[in-house]
Chain A
């Protein structure tokens, strides 16, 4: 286990990681504080297709709604969906990876084979089918994303577990007569927390891409604002190639999606670099 103090020091010396962390915290705060920041955009406004101005910082859409408010409420959905998806993926993926890595044998083979199959299947089309059958609701979408994100998490957990369970302190724990459940969920789990954490940040990032994709394809929750939903509305209204051309309508949600994903990726890369002193720059 890395000493927490050196980890913190190395982490805060890594510019990429700190930038990512700041971005993530800002987006999360925006999402949490959405009800205070702006009123929930609904109904019709009177000023359609307003350019970005003091009243509408990011312009207004074809219904006269404030895009700034939509984007803020969108970050709330994005954050909620990422968290839900990560929770679902962790609940399945981490135990599956721990078990298949520790008890090799047939149970490990079966789990690993299942992971292999799920890693090969084209994820987005499968998500589309499940979401189409389950019906559009923001929680359903999050569950679907989590259900299809667990295999990569299980794979990472398994590989790390395989490595750790060969180590001497695990053998020592075993010879002390500690039962294998305690070894697995305490001794091993604490030691693989690093790579697992890195993968979790990646799941957070891909969850938002997946949610935006599903919403863009019309499988999102039509009653909740998300960045993908805003893009779908802009696309349906022909905002990209028709005249009048309200470019601000699709540009800001797109930039927010990119920002969110980049921040989580930077955070993940940062944690990864900090955990592997080999890669540290100094």
Chain B
């Protein structure tokens, strides 16, 4: 277990290091003037000179890279072109909103996706299974802004049931009213991401459950006299869940991609919307910081999902 954990964490650190390196070299090796990518052209000349010295922009690229990594380790990701705030502070303000959205969506997807997948696996190629695979095909193929537009049009514009955007009605209320208000605002963005992601959970649960139900130990369990419910729940599900949890870990990375678009449409004040705003302002330091924080989120969730698998599967835990 210790060796497994160390290997996993090492791989995670390697991934974060790779994403740091990729963004650094993408931003520096492009034909554009590197100074323009780090230093805001609207700053005063003195401030510009100070920034250049701090990031070592007059030095060779490898030295710049070392300085950049050094600053990063101290939590310094530069200053936003747009707001002049430190990038770290900007992201700290936005990240909880994105995490809230991700947690709602992942929880809902697992709560709905696993039972549906199990039920579809019990009678393969029959009515329910067919219906589910058709539905999942569409929900995987759908373009997220389209789904968002459709919900906005129906529920917010036409029926006027839900707010059209934002995370709360300004100014923020106090206590319980505030939480209720945030919940109302979270319905549409979470619904869109949920529909797009639950399909993956359903598909993986269904396929692995189908395989597991063919195993010898399932027949053994039946012949011991257990009923179907007990066999699928205890003997089947525990084994079938392993691929589902792996894919949940992997799903986060596409979920984040979806969050960028959902947050943009619904003006949800998270990191995704921050990326959209930074693109139009060509705010490179913020873009870079946002990407790094999202990569770190992906790495942490994938380590978490591997830990859960190790806990579920003694072959990994003890091996």
Contacts and interface: CB of A to CB of B under 8 A. Distances in A.
A121 interface: yes
Interface string A120-153: 1111111011101110000000000000000000
A46 to B, nearest CB: 27
A219 B278 CA distance: 12
Given A117-B15, A258-B143, A217 B256 contact: no
Contacts of B180: none
B8 to A, nearest CB: 12
A129 B285 CA distance: 11
Contacts of A217: 260-261, 264, 275-276, 279
* A-B pairs with lowest CB-CB distance, top 4: A124-B257, A254-B146, A261-B141, A122-B256
Contacts of B253: 119-123
Interface residues of A, number: 42
B77 interface: no
Contact of B156 (A209, A241, A255, A262): A241
A49 to B, nearest CB: 16
A30 interface: no
Interface of A: 113, 116-117, 119-126, 128-130, 132-134, 205, 209, 212-213, 216-219, 231, 235, 240-241, 245, 247, 250, 254-255, 257-258, 261-262, 265-266, 269, 281
B18 interface: yes
B121 interface: no
B15 A241 contact: no
Interface in B199-246: none
B260 A258 contact: no
Given A122-B294, A125-B257, A240-B153, A130 B26 contact: yes
A96 to B, nearest CB: 16
A133 B26 contact: yes
A262 B164 CA distance: 28
Nearest to A208: B143
A267 to B, nearest CB: 12
B291 A266 contact: no
Nearest to A134: B30
Contacts of A124: 254, 256-258, 260-261
11 contacts: A120-B295, A121-B18, A133-B26, A133-B27, A134-B30, A217-B260, A217-B275, A218-B276, A245-B153, A254-B149, A258-B142
Nearest to B140: A265
B265 interface: yes
Interface in B4-31: 11, 14-15, 18-19, 22-23, 26-27, 30
B26 A262 contact: no
B137 A265 contact: yes
Contacts of B26: 129-130, 133
A125 B294 contact: yes
A129 B288 contact: yes
Contact of B152 (A113, A240, A254): A240
Contacts of A133: 26-27, 30, 32, 37, 284
